[in-house]
Amino acid sequence: MAKHRFTPTRYHNTLGTAEPCLHVSDGDTVVTDTVDASGLDAHEVTVASRPNPMTGPFFIEGAEPGDTLAVTIERLTPSRATGWTYSPLAVSVLDPASIPDRPKVERAVWRIDNNAGTVRLAEPPPGLEHFAPAIAPMIGCFGVAPPLGQAFSTATSAQNGGNMDYRLFAPGTTAWFPVSVPGALFYLGDGHACQGDGEIVGTGIETSFEMEVTLKVLKRSINWPRGETADDIFTVGNARPLDQALQHATTEMSRWLGEDFGLDARAAAHLMGQVVRYDVGNVFNPAYTVACRIAKRWLTRA
């Protein structure tokens, strides 16, 4: 259970079958640096190009196609004092008829105050002078190599993870990804200091991070990313339209309730029908993201 400190020197704009940056053992922890969505590092120097440059890939010894990679997000520490967002709202979340009236796209800077634990617009518009939500760090894009020798842009997401932009990929969460190649080839980056549901301005508060993750191989198969927090389990579907993302996530959750919690399809439906929660990861990227979430207090491992 070694802990590795890895400093990247190159970055990737696809999740694919690239040369590993580091080999680690099953159960090891990695501490590494990530740059922001536009390639700016901790010194606000551009060291990589868009979209969403990734650190990695990490080769996890023992991971084989058909396995699952469990990634525990131990810590996400912003490595500089500023982040940025776009405004106004993205065209994907607006009534099309209202799009011509929206203002031009601009980039805004946010101050990340680690002492206060808040983010604030550097130049707040009227009405937002006191707007200072808590820092709520999350990983926007991470995942493993997809099957078939494919390679997907880090702008999008699929069964192997990718640019899901889901708030609950946050410290304390363990994310599961389906392994398709030997070593899994795990990538991570695109950290956000804060983000509402849907990434509806096209960004979270984009900044560079020091990220710490623990990587474990599970000898079991999954179809779509899954996750576990202190309170919840969840499954993630990535597709367009949102309906299809929700179908993937819901079907995967029903499967999980059968595999680990002893509920057949009918029992799973009775439970989910009363307690399921849906979260919208992103509704901006080429594939949208929906999470299907259930509080663990309703569940007993079989």
Task: Write down the least CB distance from residue 229 to its own copies, Å.
Answer: 16
136 or 175: CB nearest its own copies? 136
93 or 218: CB nearest its own copies? 93
Tokens describing residue 128 = 């937002």
The closest alpha carbon to 156, from 242, 84, 239, 36, belongs to 239
Task: Write down the least CB distance from residue 166 to its own copies, Å.
Answer: 12
Task: Write down the least CB distance from residue 62 to its own copies, Å.
Answer: 26
Q: What are phi and psi of 56, to 5 degrees?
A: 130, -160
81 or 265: CB nearest its own copies? 265
3 or 98: CB nearest its own copies? 98
The closest alpha carbon to 280, from 222, 221, 240, belongs to 240
Q: Which residues contact 169 (CB under 8 A, 6 or more apart)?
A: 73, 138, 139, 140, 142, 175, 227
Tokens describing residue 26 = 């099953």
40 or 119: CB nearest its own copies? 119
Task: Write down the least CB distance from residue 236 to its own copies, Å.
Answer: 14
Q: What are phi and psi of 172, to 5 degrees?
A: 100, -20
Task: Write down the least CB distance from residue 215 to its own copies, Å.
Answer: 24
b/e burial code for range 7-46 (CB count within 10 A of at least 16 → b): ebeebbbbbbbbebbbebebebbbbbbbbbbbbbbbeeee
